[in-house]
Amino acid sequence: MSPPQERSSAAGLAETARQIRLSILDTIAAPRMGHIGGDLSVTDVLVTLFFGVMRYRPGEPDWADRDRFVLSKGHCSAALYSVLAQAGYFERSQLQSFMAPLSALNGHPNRRKIKGVEANTGPLGHGLPFAVGCAAGGRIAGAGYRTFVVLGDGELQEGSNWEAAMYAGHRGLDNLCAVVDRNRLQQGARTEDTNSLEPLADKWRAFGWDTVELDGHDHAALLRAFEAPRDGRPRVLIANTIKGKGVSFIEDRVEWHHKVPSPEQMLRAREELNRMELAQ
């Protein structure tokens, strides 16, 4: 199955995202470990890519013409695993083994253990350079695939990202699309209090990137940005998001970077997400 044959509408993507958020809650509940704030902020971006944009075949994970996806903010693996299970790369029941001893579902994605994972990520600042290499390799080979990479905003304090951005801009890698999950929070503090990133859009433009700022929870806007005609430059979407999106007591709270809800809080979170279904 390949998503271009069954692309979801914006409304369909919104419902899938709600289901993925519920899956994230279930996934982190058993081990009581994870990074729920970032998982929930990046959900809409991942859902739009996997169910509205990218070309891939779960039954043929090494298909040469597949689009490549790299989750540079690898600590948000519960969101990625929930999406990969929904896409058919493995059985959803496997999510119950998240972070268990010797489980394939590590706290950070491992391409040797999970189909659909293109790169081992976790150490921040590595995903964009890897994705640039994928895009450059595709250009050299004359391949038609695109490469997508999702970065955390705090991660942009790593200099390796800007070296990669400079190279991609210089080479005009328009088969590359980066997304910055701009939730403005990192472990322990706000990004602007830690090491200010602004003016972030101007920085990407200065490196030669087609730069789009948008609501990272608006599926229709994300679809338009991913599918807009390419102009000979790599593209970056600065996706303004809310850390913990969808759960009121987690939203925009720095302590929920890797805090895990109590059983009572899990029930409350599920109730809020179920009410979201009624409102759609």
Q: Spell out the domain ranges in the chain.
A: 6-279
- On whether the pTM is more than 0.85, the answer is yes
pLDDT digits (tens, 9 = 90+) for 208-231: 999 999 999 999 999 999 999 999
Q: Do residues 35 and 66 lie in contact, with contact meaning Cβ atoms separated by under 8 Å?
A: no
**Nearest 10 degrees: CA dihedral of 202, 152, 50, 258?**
-160
pLDDT at residue 277 greater than cutoff 80: no
**Of the CATH numbers 3.40.50.1000, 3.40.50.720, 3.40.50.970, 3.40.190.10, which one belongs to the domain with range 6-279?**
3.40.50.970
Rounded CA-CA distance 188/23 in Å is 26
pLDDT digits (tens, 9 = 90+) for 77-92: 999 999 999 999 999 9
